[in-house]
Chain A
Amino acid sequence: DTGVSQNPRHKITKRGQNVTFRCDPISEHNRLYWYRQTLGQGPEFLTYFQNEAQLEKSRLLSDRFSAERPKGSFSTLEIQRTEQGDSAMYLCASSLELNQPQHFGDGTRLSIL
């Protein structure tokens, strides 16, 4: 097991296009988190899954954002009709239990032209 895996590493797209990112958590981790990080800031929580159930969504997550974890393993984050402000690093993390640290992937850097 090599840790949390995210792909693609980089995504460049034109404004208005849809993009989808994938996250493969550590295999035995049932908790999966998505964050967004902009330059010089800490990660901002977007959403959380326990197994396949999406249990929490941040107010930051507009209607253009949707996340799924259909079989309780990998997760996808889709952004529809991308805007300039969506440019950021999107981080995925997983953990085994609530009181344990989250293990982060290397992120997907999204650039909107």
Chain B
Amino acid sequence: ELKVEQNPLFLSMQEGKNYTIYCNYSTTSDRLYWYRQDPGKSLESLFVLLSNGAVKQEGRLMASLDTKARLSTLHITAAVHDLSATYFCAVDVQVDMRFGAGTRLTVKP
């Protein structure tokens, strides 16, 4: 059974600091997605990673995928308060998309 594990589940960081969120998954897949969810809101797509070694960047966020290690990372550079949200990774096996439990990020001034 496909399992998707994120860590940490909770992350509190100071503005201006860097940090990395990790997403491990248990079966072969070369489609991995990162989503953001603000409290009371729905999910917003951030990145789609479709091949080994894929790296994508948008603003202060950068995502990468290592399909051999079954690992994706979401790196936050010089965090700002607006990045506070819950971040989910999701792995797609055929049509069954499995989400991690999410990383709740709080960026403090």
| Interface residues of A, Cβ cutoff 8 Å to B | 33, 40-45, 48, 55-56, 58, 91, 93, 98-107
Contacts and interface: CB of A to CB of B under 8 A. Distances in A.
Chain B interface size band reads 20 to 34
B45 A102 contact: yes
Interface of B: 4, 31, 33, 35, 41-45, 48, 50, 88, 90, 92, 94-102
A107 B96 contact: no
A42 B48 contact: no
Contacts, number: 53
Given A33-B97, A41-B101, A104-B35, 18 more contacts: A33-B95, A40-B101, A41-B102, A42-B90, A42-B102, A44-B99, A45-B96, A45-B98, A56-B95, A58-B96, A91-B43, A98-B95, A101-B33, A102-B33, A102-B45, A104-B42, A105-B42, A106-B41
